[in-house]
Structure 1
């Protein structure tokens, strides 16, 4: 049986999975497991708490549901993803919503310097390797204005969570963000919804046990991180 260490998560092919191909080797994931068709509850919670303001960057926007939600609430949103297939489908899904979509490498974000008051990361940070996480945190700092907020959801390395290295220890989050010039003001555990039928085979291979709600969604533990650009 395959274990989590058998998979090189850095080789995940996001363009492939958005087009119905394999995301990761023989994991059997051929649909985006994060595509729940609506904004993540953690993102809605950020907005309800007043954690969104000004010009917003949705980094790693995927199919755009979080961006669509924020635009519907009146925010100016720029949504970027490295996967061109994601941006193509997100643009269609947004159906004329006032969102600027762009294909961009989140570890550099060249051309977006100093533009944003709020940065949203809904499940991007944990997909990167150690070097990528450091580059990404630094890139977010460059594109954020002084005093900007970072709201982040990333898989938590806790019992019942995704296998490492696709989940992150609390101290790693704090260290990487701190080194990049972000001051973490709050870090707590919450949940991230996924589509259970898409990932059950993979989770079985990795020996991961997760909760599934009555809508067939996985309930995965994530860190809900609030930070401020120092």
Structure 2
């Protein structure tokens, strides 16, 4: 995460001292539509789960969900939301403080991983390592759902663009993945117009 200064953890900890601009109180609409079209298998890992909106959305649909986030303050906020959920949803959901670039460290074969704005935080070298680790963590037939910015902004401390060409290359059959869907999308936030985005679902083979 070198795009976010020498200490990305400190940067994101400051962001979560307030309400982060990408926190919209629910799953991103395009991600919700993708999950409906290609239902995930359990357990589902929410990569960079922030304060838990997407993980909670999935738990309310009946999925077993783990939220993985490296900012402790965000995890605390997510755990506080569990107390307001129906008991059935709360029982299916837990949040863990840890490194989402290393999902295999959980030691759990995953049915799916959801990524609503995580991959686009990583530079290309970190992305290489992350995708290799993710491939070890997701069971054959498991799916990875990603929703990322598709435009580059010429300012500091913002995500990078993830292109359709990059997704096609990283999630090819030769790389052990089958790309089930990819399309243009929007990424909503609380402070500005939606950002042009790309969304995709890839399946491990």
The partner residue of 1:189 within 184, 187, 203 is 184
Q: Is the contact between residue 137 and residue 177 of structure 1 (CA under 8 Å) also seen in structure 2?
A: no
The partner residue of 1:41 within 24, 29, 33 is 29
Q: Is the contact between residue 82 and residue 106 of structure 1 (CA under 8 Å) also seen in structure 2?
A: yes
Could you state the TM-score of these two structures normalised by the residue count of structure 2? 0.83
Could you state the TM-score of these two structures normalised by the residue count of structure 1? 0.75
Give the C-alpha shift of residue 169 in structure 1.
2.0
Matched pairs, number: 190
Equivalent positions of 1:93-132 (< 5 A) are 93-95=81-83, 97-98=90-91, 99-132=93-126
Would the alpha carbon gap of residues 104 and 182 (structure 1) be closer, same or farther in structure 2, given more than 3 Å must change? farther
- Gaps of at least 5 residues in structure 2 are none
- Once superposed, what is the RMSD of the aligned Cα atoms? 2.1
- Gaps of at least 5 residues in structure 1 are 1-7, 21-30, 197-216
In 2: Cα distance, 1:52 partner to 1:105 partner: 22
Are positions 1:70 and 2:58 aligned together? yes
Are positions 1:79 and 2:79 aligned together? no
Q: Is the contact between residue 163 and residue 198 of structure 2 (CA under 8 Å) also seen in structure 1?
A: no
Give the C-alpha shift of residue 135 in structure 1.
1.3
Would the alpha carbon gap of residues 165 and 152 (structure 1) be closer, same or farther in structure 2, given more than 3 Å must change? closer
Give the C-alpha shift of residue 38 in structure 1.
1.5
In 1: Cα distance, 2:55 partner to 2:48 partner: 10
The partner residue of 1:141 within 135, 141, 144 is 135
Q: Deviations over 1:76-118 (max 9, x none)?
A: 0011011111111111122262312111212222432452111
The partner residue of 1:58 within 33, 39, 46 is 46
Task: Report SS of the residue matched to 1:120.
Answer: strand
Task: Report SS of the residue matched to 1:51.
Answer: coil
